Amino acid sequence: MATSAAALVLIAAATGTAFAIRPNQSPNPLPADTPSVTATPTPSPTPTPSATAGDTPGAPPSSESSTNTPAVQFGKLFYGPVELARQGTTWDLRSWRPGGSPVRLLTLPDIAVRGNMGISSDGHRAAWVDADNELFVADADGSDKQMVRTNVDPYCVGAAWSPDGRQLLFRELQEPGGPGRFGLLDTRSPGKTVRWWTTKTEACDALWSADGQTIAMTRYDGVSGVTLYGKDGTKKRDVPGFFPDGWSAVDLVSLSPDGSLIALSRQKERGDRGDGVRDLSVNALLDTRTGEQVSLPLGGRKLRQVYFQADGSMVVRVQDGSGYAVLLVDEDGEKVSETAEPASLKDMQVLAVTD
């Protein structure tokens, strides 16, 4: 996956320079084992996704609006709530592609939105861990639901899809307490086999790079920073700029195709995370080698979220008046197009951007 060395990042108040880096090839994969759970399809009718009442596109942006170029295109955006009214509720996954109307998809338990639901890169499959520590996969419309693993930690990694949509990185629960081991579950193998990491680490919040060679995770071993790993769990390096500079990583949001840039939320003090619901707002886009920041073409508006696409372009969400707009920014940091979000998505956050 090619990326260019270009200015890309995000806090409107800070600038820097980002340099593309090519991760080293990771070692040969570890031996696989076969989990005790056999995936069994759960018979269910295939629902037909439908546009939600009131989910109508907003007015066009007031300025600098353009359509996508043939070379750089928007993907599909998936949305979930920013907050949950109470525990025990369910919520509906939604998707939207600029030019269309939002579509209501499968219904998930609240524990899924509290940090562990993942969408495959093609947008076809969802994965999550329920309150019984069981890992499920299903089509995004809710059909073909399967339970593929038991004894999975629902609060650490949850369900992190590899870019080819085949593997899920998860963390196994370990009794009593203590960090469990990490594994890569092959969702397409007959026995749902797992390749286990030999690395033991206090880390969570996994993001894959689109080339499949780098996984970024939040480290919690006394310092809340960010570390990059190979897909077999081999540590590559720590992202500078956290300790001793006083920054803590809050939530990781998106990693560039080659692992050279990361969009995340960080703060000077850890503070109270509230009810633990995943907050995917972004206030920093960092060079993972230098820790430096660069600016994005926001037009003076407040940055909300950033998601990398497989071609190195970015979908950038900004606050635009009383609503939101999504910008398409190419890998050179140039704005390509802008589209207003439907008003019905104003109180939601983007959970993923797929092909």
- Does residue 124 lie within any of the structural domains? yes
Residue 246: per-residue pLDDT: 79
- Does residue 53 lie within any of the structural domains? no
- Does residue 29 lie within any of the structural domains? no
From the DSSP assignment, how many helices (H) and strands (E) are in the chain? Answer: 1, 26
The closest of 284, 280, 282, 283 to 293, measured between CA atoms, is 284
- Does residue 188 lie within any of the structural domains? yes
Residue 111: its H or E element: helix 110-111
Q: What is the side-by-side strand order in the sheet with 145-149?
A: 40-42, 145-149, 135-139, 125-129, 118-119
Distance CA 137, CA 179 (A): 24
- Does residue 173 lie within any of the structural domains? yes
- Does residue 61 lie within any of the structural domains? no
Residues 210-248, buried b or exposed e (16+ Cβ, 10 A)? bbbbbbbbbbbeeebbbbbbbbbbeebebbbbbeeeebb
Residue 17: per-residue pLDDT: 35
- For residues 181, 184, 188, 191, the Cα torsion angle rounded to the nearest 10 degrees is -30
CATH of the domain at 205: 2.120.10.30
Mean pLDDT by 10 residues, the chain (355 residues): 36 35 38 41 42 40 45 87 74 93 94 88 95 95 96 89 96 75 95 92 91 92 84 93 82 95 86 63 94 91 96 96 95 94 94 92
Residue 110: its H or E element: helix 110-111
In angstroms, how far is CA 324 from the centroid of its own chain? 20
- Number of independent structural domains in the chain: 1
- Does residue 50 lie within any of the structural domains? no
Residue 179: per-residue pLDDT: 66
- Does residue 127 lie within any of the structural domains? yes
Distance CA 174, CA 72 (A): 44
**Residue range of the domain that includes 223:** 71-354
Q: What is the pTM of this model?
A: 0.79
